[in-house]
Structure 1
Amino acid sequence: MLTMAEVMRIPPLDGCSVIAGHRGLTRRVQSVNSFDAPDVVPWYKAGELVLTTGYVIRNDEVAQVKLVQQMAQRNCAGLGIKVNHFSSEFSTLLLQAAEEHDLPLFEIPGHLSLSDLVFPLLRELFTFQDRHKEQTRRKRFFAGLLQEEWTSRDEVLARGKEFGVLPGHGFICIYVSQGSPHSGDRLTDPRRLPEFIHFSGENTGVDWMMSQPGDAVIILQSPLEGEACELPVTARKLAGDLIDHRRVSDSEGGVIIGIGTYQDDVMGISTSYRKAREAARLGCRVAPPRQARGI
C-alpha cells in the first residue's frame, strides 16, 4: 500500500501542503473518501484518506478536534481540508490535535475541487493494487516452479506465459547469496539485483527473470526458440560482473554466486536451481564469503 508521503507526491496532491501530523506520513492509504456531512465518521475505515471542504466544521473548533480524534481512533490515513471555507488560518486546536495523534493534515488549495484529487488518487491506488497482485502472482509462480510444486508442463507454461516463460527455450539459474546458504545470514537484497544485471550489460540478448522464494535467484532464458545462444558463457560473464560490481558498490561482506546447469526445457529450471544452490554451498566450503566469489 502507498504511504501518505507517497500519496502527497501524486499530482495534483503535490500542490497541497501538509501543515500538521508529519510523523504520520508513514500511514498506509487503502481508500479515499470525501464528505461534507458530520454524521459519516462512524463509517470511516482504517487506511482511509478523507477529503472535505470543511464547511460544516469551519466555525466549530470542538468539532474539528473531535473529527481528528475519531479518525485517529479508526486508524485513518489522513485528512485534507479546503482552505477557502476557512476565513483565517486553521485553528490552533485542530493543528495540535493532528500533531498529537500523528494524523497528517493538509490544506487543499481553493482552485482544486475534491474530485480533482479523488480520481487521480483512486487511479494510483488501483494501479498500485494491481501491481502488488501481479508481484504476488509472480512470487508464487516462481516459488512453486523452483520447489517443483508444478508437475504439469502445460500448467507451468500457461502460468508462466504472463511472466515471460516461453516453451522451447533454454534456461540457467544463478543463485546469489550473501553468506552461507545454510547460515541464515542476510541474503543479497533482491531489489538491487536488477541494477546489478543492467550494470553488467543490457545487450546480451538474454531474457532474465527474478524470483525470491527466500533467496535471490536469477533465471536466464535464451532469446531464440531452440537456440542455446551460449547461455552458459553468458551466465558466467554475468556472475563475474555481479561479483565485480559487488566489490565496487559494497566493500563490506562477501557474496557467493552459484551457477546451475543448462536446461533445454522449462521443467528443468528446478534442476538448474538445485545445482546452483549446490555450487553455492561448495563455494562456501572451499572459500568462506569474506570476499566476493563465484562457482
Structure 2
Amino acid sequence: MAVRFWEMYEETKVQFKLKIAAGKAGMDTVVSWVHMLEDETIVSRFHGEELGITTGMKAASPGWLLKVVQGMAKDDCAGIIINTGMYLKEIPEEVILWCEEHNFPLLEMPWEISITELIQDYCMRIIDQKQFEKKISNAFREAIQGRWKEADVRQVLGERYDMEGTYQAFCVYVKKTMEDEFNYNQSVIKLENLFGLWKGNDKINTSYGLIRMEDYIVLILNNSREKVFAELPGLILQSFSYFAKEHRFYLGIGPRVSHIENLSASYKKARTAMKMSMGTGRQIIQFEEMGFFKLLFSVEDTDILNSYAGEILGTLEEYDKVHNSVYVETLRSYIKNDRSLIGVAEDTFTHRNTVNYRIQNIKKILGCELKNAEELFPYQVAFYIRDMTKKEE
C-alpha cells in the first residue's frame, strides 16, 4: 500500500521531464521521504526508502557521485534524481554503469525544472498515502475485532478490497530490543517491497493489508491464490532473515476464509498459531496443523493453564525441591519414551534399576499407576504448559 518509486515516476515523468538513466529494474520499491542531497554525510543518517535529489554541486570532486549512490544503495534507499545542466552537465558513465549493474534507480531531470516543486509534489503524495494507509489499518483493526458491519469500515475497505472474497491472516512476532528497531523496520520494508513486486503481476493479483499491532504485525491477504499461499511463509521468513537467524522470529498462519465477516476468525487462529510458535520455538506454524494444541494455545487466560499444571505437577515439583531429586524430569522422559525404562535410562544416562526405582516412587507420590496413555495424558499436557511458560518468559 506504500508509495512506490515506479508509480510516482509514471505519474510525474512528463510534468518534471524525468528520464531513467539506469536501475529501472529496482524502481518497484517504497519511497518513505524525499531529501535534498548535496553532501554525502547526510546519507549516513538515512534509514532506508529515502529518495535523494541533487544538483551535483560537489560532483567536480572525483568519484563523489559514485560514492554517494553506493552509500545510498548500501542503506537501502529508493534511488536518486540528478538535476543536470548547471553543476553537472551529464552523469558520469561509471555511475550509470554501477547503478545499472546493481539495480539502483538513477534518474535525470533538466536544470530548468524546479527541484522545490518536485520535492513538494512527492512529499505530499507520501503524506496523502500515509493518511490513507492509516485509514485502511484502522478499518482492518475493526474488521479483525468482528466489527466489519460498521459503515465506515465497509466504506474504507470496499474501495480497495473484495468484501465477498477470500481472506487470510498471518501474525508475525519478533523478539527485539531498542537496538533492533532499524533492522525491524528494514524487514517490514522488505516485506512491503515483496508485495510491490507482486502488484504488477496479473497472475498473482493479491491485495494485502499490513497492520502494526502493539508488539506484532498482522498481514492480511485478500483473494490470494494457492501459489501465493505456498510461497509466502518462506518469503516472510526471508524478509525477517536477520531475526530468523537468531531464532527470534515467529509466524502464525490462520486458515483461508470466505467473506470479510470471517476475517476475525482467521486472525484469532493466526494469533493462536503465533503463540504456539513462540511457545515451542518453531518459526512457522499453521493453525490447521496444530492438532490438540489448538485447544491449549487458544486459552487466553494463562493463569488457568498454569494453575492446572501446578495441580498436576505441583506435588512432584515440591518433592524434588525438598529431596533434591529429579523425579519431574524422570517423569517427562518416561512419557517421552512411551513408558520404556530402557529408553529413560538411555535418555537420562541412568542405570535401568535406578530408573525403575524412581518410577515406582513417582507412582506412589502421584497416587497414579501411569499404566496407559489416558493416565499419562494430564501429565503430558502439564509439561506442555510448563514449556509454554518458559518460552514466553
Give TM-score, length-normalised by structure 1: 0.51
Q: 1:45 to 1:189 in 2, by over 3 A?
A: closer
User: The residue matched to 1:145 in structure 2 has which SS?
Assistant: coil
Structure 2 residue 31 is matched with structure 1 residue 11: no
- After superposition, the C-alpha distances for 1:46-72 in whole angstroms (9 at most, x for unaligned) are 000001111111x23411111111111
Q: CA RMSD in A?
A: 3.7
User: The residue matched to 1:32 in structure 2 has which SS?
Assistant: strand
- After superposition, the C-alpha distances for 1:206-247 in whole angstroms (9 at most, x for unaligned) are xxxxxx97667xxxxxxxxxxxxxxxxxxxxxxxxxxxxxxx
Per the alignment, residue 120 of structure 1 pairs with 121
Mark the runs of 5 or more structure 1 residues left unpaired by the alignment.
147-155, 166-173, 179-187, 192-211, 217-256, 260-268, 274-295
Q: 1:145 to 1:190 in 2, by over 3 A?
A: farther
Q: 1:109 to 1:162 in 2, by over 3 A?
A: same
Q: 1:61 to 1:18 in 2, by over 3 A?
A: farther
In the alignment, residue 111 of structure 1 is paired with which amino acid? E
Per the alignment, residue 209 of structure 1 pairs with none
Per the alignment, residue 44 of structure 1 pairs with 46
User: The residue matched to 1:90 in structure 2 has which SS?
Assistant: coil
Per the alignment, residue 386 of structure 2 pairs with none
Match of 1:35 among 16, 34, 37: 37
For 1:144 and 1:37, how far apart are their aligned partners in 2? 48
Structure 2 residue 61 is matched with structure 1 residue 60: yes
For 1:95 and 1:117, how far apart are their aligned partners in 2? 22
For 1:107 and 1:215, how far apart are their aligned partners in 2? 37
Whichever of the two has the greater Rg, that structure is 2
The percent identity for this pair of structures is 19
Structure 2 residue 118 is matched with structure 1 residue 109: no
For 2:100 and 2:131, how far apart are their aligned partners in 1? 33
For 1:110 and 1:2, how far apart are their aligned partners in 2? 26
- Give, in angstroms, the shift of residue 15 of structure 1: 2.0
Q: 1:44 to 1:215 in 2, by over 3 A?
A: closer
Contact kept? 1:142, 1:213, Cα under 8 Å: no
Structure with the higher fraction of residues in helix conformation: 2
Greater relative contact order: 1 or 2 (C-alpha under 8 angstroms, separation 6 or more)?
1
Give TM-score, length-normalised by structure 2: 0.39
In the alignment, residue 42 of structure 1 is paired with which amino acid? S
For 2:145 and 2:165, how far apart are their aligned partners in 1? 19
- Give, in angstroms, the shift of residue 189 of structure 1: 6.5
In the alignment, residue 40 of structure 1 is paired with which amino acid? I
- After superposition, the C-alpha distances for 1:90-124 in whole angstroms (9 at most, x for unaligned) are 11111112112211111111111211111010110
Contact kept? 1:10, 1:121, Cα under 8 Å: no
Question: Paired residues, what number?
Answer: 177
User: The residue matched to 1:28 in structure 2 has which SS?
Assistant: coil
Per the alignment, residue 137 of structure 1 pairs with 138
